């Protein structure tokens, strides 16, 4: 299941993660999946990154986003 993360939060989360951990091609693939609704297969073809890598990156980004939102809401 793809997470529903708004574009501004996705960019914030991706800015936190180093380029070594999340290369540019993987970032492009994640944007295709999360923002544009591509399937992992189509994003794989378009970006040249494997489905497994895309899925792991999306899962990692979703985990960080959930943690940030939870922390932010508890601090208010």
Looking at residue 17, the DSSP 8-state letter turns out to be: S
Rounded Cα distance between 71 and 40, Å, is 29
Tell me the pLDDT tens digit for each residue of 16-34. Answer: 999 999 999 999 999 999 9
Looking at residue 36, the DSSP 8-state letter turns out to be: T
pTM of the model: 0.89
Going from N- to C-terminal start, the domains of the chain cover: 7-75
pLDDT of residue 74: 87
C-beta of residue 28 within 8 angstroms of C-beta of residue 39? no
Q: What angle do CA 35, 37, 38 make, to 5 degrees?
A: 115
DSSP tally for the chain: helices H, then strands E: 4, 0
C-beta of residue 27 within 8 angstroms of C-beta of residue 71? no
pLDDT of residue 1: 64
């Amino acid at each position: 299941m793809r997470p529903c993360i708004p574009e501004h939060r996705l960019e914030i989360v991706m800015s936190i993660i180093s380029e070594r951990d999340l290369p540019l091609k993987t970032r492009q693939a994640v944007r295709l999946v999360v923002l544009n609704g591509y399937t992992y297969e189509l994003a794989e073809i378009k970006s040249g990154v494997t489905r497994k890598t895309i899925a792991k990156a999306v899962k990692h980004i979703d985990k960080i986003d959930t943690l940030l939102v939870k922390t932010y809401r508890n601090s208010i």
